[in-house]
Amino acid sequence: MDALLIMVFSFAGYLIMYKIYGRFIGKKVFKLNDDNKTPAVEFEDGIDFVPTKKEVIFGHHFTSIAGTGPIVGPAIAIIWGWVPALLWVFLGSIIMGAVHDFGSLVISLRNQGKSISEYTAKYISGRTKLFFFFIVFLELWIVVSIFGLVMAIIFDMFPGSVFPIWIQIPIAMFLGYMIYQKGANLTKWSAIAVITMYLTIILGAYMPLKMPAVMGLSPVAVWSVILLIYAFFASVLPVTKLLQPRDYMNAHQLIIAMVLMILGVLFASIGGNLQIVAPAVNPNPAEAPPLWPFLFITIACGAISGFHALVSSGTSSKQIRRESDSIFVGYGSMLVEGSLATLVIIAVSAGIGLGLVENGEHFTGVQAWTHHYASWAAAKGLGSKVAAFVTGAANLLSAIGIPGKVGAIIMGVFVASFAGTTLDSATRIQRYILTEMFPKTFKNRYVSTATVIGLAVVLIFATGSNGKGALLLWPLFGAVNQTLAAMALIIVTVYLRMNHKWGWILSAIPAVFMLVISFWAIVLNHLKFGDSNNILLQSINFVIILSVVWIAVEGFLKFISVKPEESIEETAPHSV
């Protein structure tokens, strides 16, 4: 019953904190005002700036910030024990992640929908903006490249997911056509779209599509190229054509997948079959880096992730039609992501114990967990992380009568769908960043998007025809991502210091914590890169260290130079 109690108390905690803490920050600290005209309304263009219902934006925002993050992070961090993983997810998402996401979204709403790197110049300095741009550009370059690779690997691992994933695109576009062109009922046609999508999942389970090698390119490389071509078109299309309806569908897919897992936990617990088989605390697993600081780097999405600030200030702020909607979108979606991460922890700490088959051998109970998490090297690979979750989740679904084969495809499609939303959202956000930084060169969205895709292609083929070149920079990603979270919180803190007498404290404490943790991890990584004589990573990491120090110092100097005010700025340029 431990797994069931964890689920019930965690979910209750998320709901209570949304009702109390989230609304408190929105009303008392940021003083949200629906009389303020949002960028979506002021700059509506039918392409990027589109005022939209908060339920639809929630679907886009959540699926974009989540990706595979709240799945793969907890699925590897469980190696340090389920207690530290659960505590970080629960407390991190409420106190840090939700404040970070929500704050980044509100500031963007009050700055013409500009990205966080762009409004850094306003709240700190123009010099800081350049360093911030470097961190953001590096992060998005890795994200666009790696998530194409993630989906390619999932397609290769779970060929039954290929058909459902690709058929989602015409289904989503038809949904968008019915809603925006024909004025059809959103609830009715969303239900039809989701039912159709799940029928394709069942078909996919029995008609897997395996990609062969093509012209010397590995199957993973071929998929990566196809996915980047898709990302180009998804990024330049108006958000109402594909991005919004597809993400809205995926939000329904999330709800269904989570409900199925919740029922699985309930039925398996009642049947007495579900027990936590992972250790509560495992501070020194074989070959693993130290729990401090790397637990907080490994679990990003699900607790706090710098990438979320890019989504908040990139795509989502351009679609919010009222300031008050930002609580539901910014704060609420982070807590839902925390809920998903909690279910993932249950799947890989308890669900995996219901049965694991590897290399023809069958394991159950503690033996199953111990076999899969025998060492850091055994558990850290992408395939291993995804497999742990899919196996554990499919086992939970089997408790409610869903065949293991179908359950595995449902979860495989679930993971790949979220990776896809992150891929094209990151491509679109990178386009925004380039346009803001170099408006004359990248004013044309086709040119800027082609540049983003071209850079991703260069990276994925940096190691040859296997298409796994993005892994060259992947060791940088975790620390860079959490560094970005710390920097975003610094901006939020300075903003609140300027506009509120005491509200800055709510972001300052998380900012200091994340700055210490991320800088600690960056320094340890730098020593590691030096020991392995990796000049490339060491050089890039040195610039990251310099950027962090510069932004932290300038942020602190700006913080102490301004006087706190009693109320939020008037946001005159955007007032009705």
- Cα–Cα distance for residue pair 278/273, rounded to 1 Å: 15
Cβ-contact 475, 525 below 8 angstroms: yes
Provide the pLDDT for residue 496: 95
What phi, psi does 185 have (nearest 5°)? Answer: -65, 125
Q: 137 - beta bridge partners?
A: none
- Cα–Cα distance for residue pair 7/343, rounded to 1 Å: 7
- Cα–Cα distance for residue pair 51/187, rounded to 1 Å: 18
Provide the pLDDT for residue 378: 66
Per the structure, the count of domains in the chain is 1
> Which two three-digit tokens encode residue 489?
């919180």
> Which two three-digit tokens encode residue 371?
């076999």
Helix (H) or strand (E) run with residue 362 in it = strand 361-363
Provide the pLDDT for residue 159: 87
Cβ-contact 141, 453 below 8 angstroms: no
Cβ-contact 25, 99 below 8 angstroms: yes
Alpha-helical regions (H) of 284-402: 291-298, 306-312, 325-326, 333-349, 365-372, 376-379, 382-398
Provide the pLDDT for residue 570: 44
Which string of b and e fits 536-559 if b means at least 16 CB within 10 Å? ebbebbeebbebbebbbebbeebb
Cβ-contact 324, 113 below 8 angstroms: no
Q: Which residues contact 287 (CB under 8 A, 6 or more apart)?
A: 375, 376, 377
Provide the pLDDT for residue 531: 93
- Type of residue numbered 464: G
Helix (H) or strand (E) run with residue 97 in it = none
User: Is 46 in a helix, a strand, or coil?
Assistant: coil
Provide the pLDDT for residue 405: 75
Q: Whole domain around residue 239: which residue ranges?
A: 2-574
Cβ-contact 218, 463 below 8 angstroms: no
Q: Which residues contact 90 (CB under 8 A, 6 or more apart)?
A: 10, 13, 14, 338, 342
Provide the pLDDT for residue 573: 40
> How does pLDDT run along the chain (576 residues), one tens digit per residue?
589 999 999 999 999 999 999 999 999 999 999 999 999 999 999 999 999 999 999 989 998 998 778 888 999 899 999 999 999 999 999 999 999 999 999 999 999 999 988 889 889 988 888 888 999 999 999 999 888 888 888 888 778 889 988 999 999 999 999 998 888 888 899 889 989 988 888 888 788 888 998 888 999 899 999 999 999 999 999 999 998 898 888 888 888 889 999 999 999 998 888 999 999 999 988 888 999 999 999 999 999 999 999 999 999 999 999 999 999 999 999 999 999 999 999 999 999 999 887 777 888 899 989 888 887 776 656 666 777 888 899 899 999 998 877 788 788 788 888 888 888 899 999 999 999 999 989 999 999 999 999 999 999 999 888 888 888 898 999 999 999 999 999 999 999 999 888 999 999 999 999 999 999 999 999 999 999 999 999 999 999 999 999 999 999 999 999 876 644 454 434 333
Cβ-contact 173, 242 below 8 angstroms: yes
Provide the pLDDT for residue 294: 95
Helix (H) or strand (E) run with residue 440 in it = none
- Cα–Cα distance for residue pair 163/431, rounded to 1 Å: 29
User: Is 481 in a helix, a strand, or coil?
Assistant: helix
Q: What is the CATH number of the domain that holds 305?
A: 1.10.4160
- Cα dist from 99 to 37, 89, 335, 458, whole Å: 22, 14, 11, 36
Closest to 428 (Cα-Cα) out of 454, 453, 461, 457? 453
